[in-house]
Amino acid sequence: MRPGFFGHVVVDLALAPWDEATLYVAAFGQGVFLSPDGGRSWRGLNEGLAETSVRGMAFGPGRVLYLATDQGGFRRAPGGPWEPLPGLRGRSVRVLRVGAGAGLYAGTEAGVFASPDGGRSWEPRSRGLAHPDVRDLAADPARPGRLYAGTFGGVFRSVDGGLSWQAASSGLADLRVRALALDSRRPGRLLAGTALGGVFESPDGGESWRPRNKRLFDTSVMALALDEGGALYAGTRGGLFRLPAGGELWEYVRVERTPLSMPAIAAGRRGNIFVTSGGEVFESRDGGKSWAMLTPGAPRKAATQSTLNVP
């Protein structure tokens, strides 16, 4: 199995909000890489970065890039040096999210922390969070202060910026939540990806849940993303699946020449879908019917395959 340019360790990818041709990749143990031209060329952004065990990325106002790592958080303004985020030193930060009003939130092994000033100061925000092992956070862009935390003890909801939390897991059969996704087209609709129980949907902001697993043949979900048309993508340990908008049956999306595991997905505003697998990055511009490998040195049409309905 070829390790790929990033070495089997790509854990997150992100599209720059100001320009979707600008891509960022987080590679655990290797740091961060940037492509300014849609994946045609890449360069490292690791000079001065004290910790390369990166787990996730987030963008803040002024094009600031934030990193979640096993040893705290970091920020970098355009053209500036990497700076550690005080208050998170030594913590295993799994995820960073920017909420409505530009508040910054960190999900860690010890609960949620919040910063009102772009990461310069932090305070714990875990009252009522009965399971502090946070794996993902979702911030509702339409409702300032409304947050969701996916933990290995279920989903929790806050309506006051994390000052207090309430359990929101009724009907969630697997409480080991790895991924969350909010549907911007349908207020209150929340998706959760779990360690072994597949995907669950809540139409009411976590008040109730139902499974969405018909023909999802691998239920070890690692990542979720919604595209601009409302299709839902699930990255699992066994590959990539797609649930069409309004549909009930998952489709298996074959991305050729990958070792299957799909830990990160990003959806662009123009309908492009990006996935990572085995140290490689792939892009589809047609809903998963064909793919191009964006890894340095790969031909632009390295992977082509039709979306399949698996019987």
Average the pLDDT over 137-160 and give the result.
94
**CATH number of residue 93's parent domain:** 2.130.10.10
Q: Please count the other Cβ atoms lying within 10 Å of the Cβ belonging to residue 260.
A: 14
Give the count of domains, the chain: 1
Q: Is residue 130 assigned to a domain?
A: yes
| Residue 20 binned pLDDT confidence (cut-offs 50, 70, 90) | confident
Q: Characterise 21 by phi-psi region: left (phi > 0), alpha (psi -120 to 50), beta (else).
A: alpha
| Average pLDDT, integer, range 161-189 | 96
- Is position 122 within any domain? yes
Expressed as residue numbers, the domain containing 136 is 47-213
Residue 264 belongs to a domain: no
Instruction: Write out the DSSP string of 42-78.
Output: -EE--TT-S---EEEEEEEGGGEEEEEETTEEEEE-T
Q: Domain for residue 301, yes or no?
A: no
* Gap between the terminal Cα atoms of the chain: 28
303, pLDDT greater than 70: no
Residue at 291 is within a domain: no
Mean pLDDT of the region 143-161: 95
In a domain, 195, yes or no: yes
Whether residue 114 contacts residue 161, with contact meaning beta carbons closer than 8 Å, is answered with yes
3-state secondary structure of 101: helix
Query: For 5-9, 70-74, 144-148, 204-208, which range has the lowest pLDDT when averaged over its residues?
Result: 5-9
In whole angstroms, what is the distance from residue 81 CA to residue 73 CA? 14
Residue 241 has pLDDT above 60, yes or no: yes
Domain-embedded: residue 239: no
Does residue 164 carry a pLDDT above 90?
Answer: yes
Q: pLDDT of 66-110, one tens digit each?
A: 999 999 999 999 999 999 999 999 999 999 999 877 789 999 999
CB-based contact 268:259 (threshold 8 Å): no
In a domain, 151, yes or no: yes
